[in-house]
């Protein structure tokens, strides 16, 4: 993006400056401003002190020097994102603003243009700095833990990396597993075959897989053993070589189950463990293996722990606010739990939120 140097506006209040940006001819201005000026309106809403005027291939910014400089940087990042083929939206603007104002190491364009997998007409990319760090950790380490609340893309991004590794022939199979926590119902009393009984626990993994692989090919891949989806109990006694292995909902493993799973690691394999320590559904006084594994494996080489937060939620904007509200509520109840009053899960920790 070509631009002019900021110049001081004579007679403007508060020492306002003007900064003019010239959009390169190879990119239509509408790609930067958005359909119906959606992107422009999102920028204006985020920076009400800056007046933005678009005419032809030029965008003029007027306002306080600091804000004008930040908007100019934002538009520069958005142009790079748009040039990569990523469609701009108000959500992209808000995420980019958060990255710039938080002074993160990664630039918005670096995060939002990192392609993981192109499938079925769309491209899967990280959308936040935390998600990019998580994806990069999977690339660099043999075992990666992705710990964070619902909606942060822990499982989805791990699945995308698994499919990417399979397509690149870095592994020859994908193994997807979850603990089949009974949540108040005994599997033996549920109707149907064993497959029917465990399917509800594994359905989220199937759903993510269907987003990334031609659904018609999934039965063939599963029959050949290229893709395996099974309860955690089925992992016992096995050694998994040349495989990309994902353990989902790991907060519902006991410490013994977590150890059993991690020791299935074979040669040429990679593991990703995902979970949310605020959503433990284990019965009685059972300790979650995910809650203690970082303490156990601290200092072990080639193991990474990535913590995602409400800032990394990529669902409806309210999801992040809901997560923060529950966290604040839990903090107010923590003293009562320590005193033995008002405990919700019988373990002195946080119970699940459904």
Claim to verify: residue 264 and residue 308 sit in the same structural domain = yes
Claim to verify: residue 149 and residue 280 sit in the same structural domain = yes
Domain CATH code at residue 154: 3.40.50.300
Q: Which two tokens stand for residue 97?
A: 């603003």
Is residue 170 over pLDDT 90? yes
Claim to verify: residue 71 and residue 134 sit in the same structural domain = no
Residue 71: inside a domain, yes or no? yes
Claim to verify: residue 265 and residue 146 sit in the same structural domain = yes
Is residue 342 over pLDDT 80? no
Residue 338: inside a domain, yes or no? no
Residue 44: inside a domain, yes or no? yes
Question: What whole-number percentage of the chain has pLDDT above 90?
Answer: 37
Claim to verify: residue 76 and residue 191 sit in the same structural domain = no
pLDDT digits (tens, 9 = 90+) for 14-24: 578 898 888 88
Claim to verify: residue 127 and residue 100 sit in the same structural domain = no
- List, in sequence order, the alpha helices (H) in 193-288: 194-212, 218-223, 255-262
Claim to verify: residue 168 and residue 38 sit in the same structural domain = no
Confidence of residue 207 (pLDDT cuts 50, 70, 90): confident
Domain CATH code at residue 98: 3.30.1370.10
Q: Which two tokens stand for residue 255?
A: 């410490």
pLDDT at 181: 65
Claim to verify: residue 94 and residue 138 sit in the same structural domain = no
What is the domain range of residue 93? 2-112
Claim to verify: residue 172 and residue 227 sit in the same structural domain = yes
pLDDT at 230: 85
Lowest mean pLDDT among 161-165, 229-233, 281-285: 281-285
For residues 96 and 261, give the distance between their C-alpha atoms in angstroms, rounded to a whole number: 38
Tell the residue number behind the tokens 């992992």, with chain if given.
235
Claim to verify: residue 105 and residue 135 sit in the same structural domain = no
pLDDT at 348: 36
Residue 105: inside a domain, yes or no? yes
pLDDT at 325: 86
CA 239 to chain centre: 29
For residues 154 and 173, give the distance between their C-alpha atoms in angstroms, rounded to a whole number: 20
* End-of-domain residue from the set 81, 112, 143: 112
Is residue 106 over pLDDT 90? no
Residue 169: inside a domain, yes or no? yes
pLDDT digits (tens, 9 = 90+) for 44-72: 888 899 999 888 888 899 999 989 999 99
For residues 160 and 114, give the distance between their C-alpha atoms in angstroms, rounded to a whole number: 13
Judge contact between 124 and 283, C-beta under 8 A. Answer: no
- List, in sequence order, the alpha helices (H) in the chain: 29-33, 38-46, 65-83, 90-101, 108-112, 129-140, 154-167, 194-212, 218-223, 255-262, 289-297, 317-338
Claim to verify: residue 180 and residue 40 sit in the same structural domain = no
Judge contact between 52 and 87, C-beta under 8 A. Answer: no
Reported as type and span, the H/E element at residue 340 is: none
Domain count, the chain: 2
Lowest mean pLDDT among 123-137, 185-199, 284-298: 185-199
Q: What residues form DSSP beta bridges with 273?
A: 145, 247
pLDDT at 103: 67
pLDDT at 352: 36
Mean pLDDT across the stretch 116-120? 80
Residue 351: inside a domain, yes or no? no
Compute, in degrees rounded to 10, the torsion defined by CA atoms 194, 159, 302, 180. Answer: -20
pLDDT at 7: 53
For residues 290 and 295, give the distance between their C-alpha atoms in angstroms, rounded to a whole number: 10
Of residues 34 and 125, which shows the higher confidence score?
Answer: 125
DSSP state letter for 75: H
Q: Tell me the pLDDT of the chain averaged across its residues.
A: 82
Residue 90: inside a domain, yes or no? yes
User: Which range in 87-101, 160-174, 316-330 is most confidently predicted, on average pLDDT?
Assistant: 160-174
pLDDT digits (tens, 9 = 90+) for 260-299: 999 999 999 999 999 999 888 888 788 999 999 999 998 8
Residue 354: inside a domain, yes or no? no
β-bridge pairing 243-247 and 173-178: parallel
pLDDT at 30: 77
CA 310 to chain centre: 10
Residues ≥6 apart with Cβ < 8 Å to 76: 1, 3
pLDDT at 140: 97
Phi-psi bin for 125: left (phi > 0), alpha (psi -120 to 50), beta?
Answer: beta
Buried b / exposed e over 267-280, threshold 16 CB at 10 Å, is: eebbbbbbbbbbbb
pLDDT at 275: 95
C-alpha closest to that of 74 among 42, 105, 28: 42
Mean pLDDT across the stretch 103-120? 82
Distances (CA, A) of 161 to 116, 177, 208: 7, 16, 12
Claim to verify: residue 147 and residue 64 sit in the same structural domain = no
Confidence of residue 318 (pLDDT cuts 50, 70, 90): confident
């Amino acid at each position: 993006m070509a631009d002019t140097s900021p110049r001081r506006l004579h007679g403007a209040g508060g020492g306002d400056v003007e900064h003019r940006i010239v959009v390169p001819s190879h990119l239509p201005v509408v790609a930067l401003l958005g359909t119906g000026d959606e992107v422009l309106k999102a920028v204006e809403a985020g920076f009400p002190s800056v007046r933005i005027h678009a005419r032809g291939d030029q965008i003029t910014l007027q306002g306080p020097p600091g804000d004008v400089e930040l908007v100019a940087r934002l538009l520069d990042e958005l142009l790079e994102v748009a040039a990569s083929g990523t469609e701009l939206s108000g959500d992209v603007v808000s995420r980019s603003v958060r990255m710039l104002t938080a002074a993160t190491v990664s630039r918005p364009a670096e995060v939002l243009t990192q392609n993981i997998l192109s499938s079925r007409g769309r491209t899967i990319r990280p959308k936040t700095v935390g998600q990019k760090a998580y994806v990069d950790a999977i690339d660099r380490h043999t075992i990666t833990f992705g710990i964070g609340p619902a909606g942060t893309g822990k499982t989805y991004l791990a699945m995308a990396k698994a499919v990417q590794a399979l397509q690149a022939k870095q592994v020859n199979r994908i193994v997807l597993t979850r603990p089949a926590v009974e949540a108040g119902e005994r599997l033996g009393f549920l109707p149907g075959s064993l497959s029917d009984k465990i399917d509800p626990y594994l359905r989220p993994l199937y759903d993510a897989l269907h987003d990334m692989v031609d659904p018609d090919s999934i039965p063939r891949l599963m029959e050949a053993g290229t893709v395996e989806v099974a309860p955690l109990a089925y992992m016992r006694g096995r050694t998994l070589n040349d495989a990309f292995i994902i353990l989902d909902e790991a907060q519902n493993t006991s410490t013994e189950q977590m150890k059993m799973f991690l020791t299935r690691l074979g040669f040429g394999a990679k593991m990703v463990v995902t979970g949310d320590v605020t959503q433990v559904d284990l019965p009685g006084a059972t300790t979650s293996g995910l809650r203690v594994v970082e303490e156990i494996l601290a200092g072990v080489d080639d193991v990474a722990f990535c913590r995602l937060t409400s800032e990394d939620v990529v669902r409806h904007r309210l999801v992040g606010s809901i997560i923060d509200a529950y966290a604040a509520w839990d903090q107010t109840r923590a003293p009562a739990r320590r005193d033995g009053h008002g405990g919700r899960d019988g373990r002195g920790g946080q119970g699940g939120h459904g």
